Amino acid sequence: MENIIATRGLEKSYGRLKALDGVDLAVSAGSISGLIGPNGAGKTTTLKALLGLIDVRGELEVAGMDPRAARHRLMDEVCFIADVGTLPGWMTSRKLLDYVEAVHSRFDRARAERLLAGTSIPADKKIRALSKGMITQLHLSVVMAIDASLLVLDEPTIGLDIMYRKTFYDRLLNDYYDGRRTIVISTHQVEEIEYLLTHLLFIDKGKIVLDMSVQEMAELYIEVAVEPAQRERALSLRPMHQRELLEQLVCIYGGVARDRLEDLGELRTPAVADLFVARLTGDENHEN
């Protein structure tokens, strides 16, 4: 499949801190990718680079354009939501729609109004007077009414309660994603988006440490809830990560044949959060 994002050797430093240290990315069109990493790993810097909001070194192409040279043209093709607090508080939602309609050639006002009709957001109330949840719904409605090929979400639900978070992702999947559009999501709340993702990107210390499809992940990594009697054998197979859960050993293996593990206990695909911890804390010998 064609790549909508392609980067090679992206580098960005803030003083002596290397925020991006040779980031190589290839995101295929139509995928939903999760960019996952600890605080300070370089997630937001990567997304800002993709959007042309910062200057970086290296090769960079998004939707066939270099964001550093043509950010405003790229924004015809790309939408982004960077957390919940970025809509201008002095505007009303009606004025916001007026503005976006005037500046964005791909904005469908009727669709935005239909989407907003399903919410309790008042049209003439200032955005600063709305709750965080309402502001997020408003922003999402605006973005969903833009016919863009790439949507970038940077911690879009941070600070929201669980109801709003769930609604946000359900709307995204049901009313926006059509298999043609590409979505890149960066979030700490991995568990909540796990079911959406088709592709995983783990980033740590400014480097991509894992880049694979969810399907590949399921084939490569196996989590085993080890039977007490198999404990020694399980450890001898050198799991990339191990932890005790309710007095039971749980191991994650990478690149170990399934048939070698079947006798050890219950086999399952690791949760993304567990794999993430495993990759960041696991034995480097097991890296793939």
Partner 1 sequence: MRIEVQRFGALLRKEVREHANLFVITPSVVTLLLILIMILTIIALPESAERVLLEQSAGFLADLPLRSAVVVPLLLSMPFVPMLFLTWIIYLTVCLYQDRKDRSFLFWQSMPVSDLQTVLSRVVTAVFIIPVIAAGEVLLWLVVTMIYITPTMSDLGVSFAFLKALLLALDGALLFYCFAWLNGLLLMPVIGWFLLFSAYSRRVPFLLAMGSAVILALLEAWLLNSVYIGYRMSLTAHEGVFGWSDIPATLFSYDMLAALLLGGVLLAGATLMRRFND
* β 182-186/207-213 pair status: unpaired
- What's the closest the beta carbon of residue 88 comes to partner 1, in angstroms? 4
Q: Is 80 in the site for partner 1 (CB under 8 A)?
A: yes
Restricting to residues 95-134, name those near partner 1 by CB under 8 A.
95, 98-100, 102-105
| E strands in 78-127 | 78-82
Q: Smaller CB distance to partner 1: residue 80 or 276?
A: 80
Q: How many residues bind partner 1 (CB under 8 A)?
A: 30
Rounded to whole angstroms, the Cα distance separating 278 from 256 reads: 15
Binding mask 23-62 for partner 1 (x = CB under 8 A): -------------------------x--x-xxx-------
Rounded to whole angstroms, the Cα distance separating 132 from 200 reads: 28
Q: Is 233 in the site for partner 1 (CB under 8 A)?
A: no
Q: Which two structure tokens, joined as six digits, stand for 189?
A: 């709340």
Query: Kindly report the CA angle at 164 between 158 and 167, in degrees rounded to 5?
Result: 120
- What's the closest the beta carbon of residue 85 comes to partner 1, in angstroms? 6
For 157, residues 6+ apart whose C-beta sits below 8 A from its C-beta are: 84, 136, 164, 165, 168, 169, 187, 189, 192
Name the β-bridge partners of 8: 59
Q: Smaller CB distance to partner 1: residue 91 or 196?
A: 91
- What's the closest the beta carbon of residue 147 comes to partner 1, in angstroms? 13
Rounded to whole angstroms, the Cα distance separating 2 from 11 reads: 24
* β 78-82/150-154 pair status: parallel
Restricting to residues 82-101, name those near partner 1 by CB under 8 A.
82, 85-91, 95, 98-100
Q: Smaller CB distance to partner 1: residue 24 or 76?
A: 76
Binding mask 150-189 for partner 1 (x = CB under 8 A): ----------------------------------------
Rounded to whole angstroms, the Cα distance separating 64 from 102 reads: 25
Q: Which residues bind partner 1 (CB under 8 A)?
A: 48, 51, 53-55, 71-73, 75-76, 79-82, 85-91, 95, 98-100, 102-105, 139
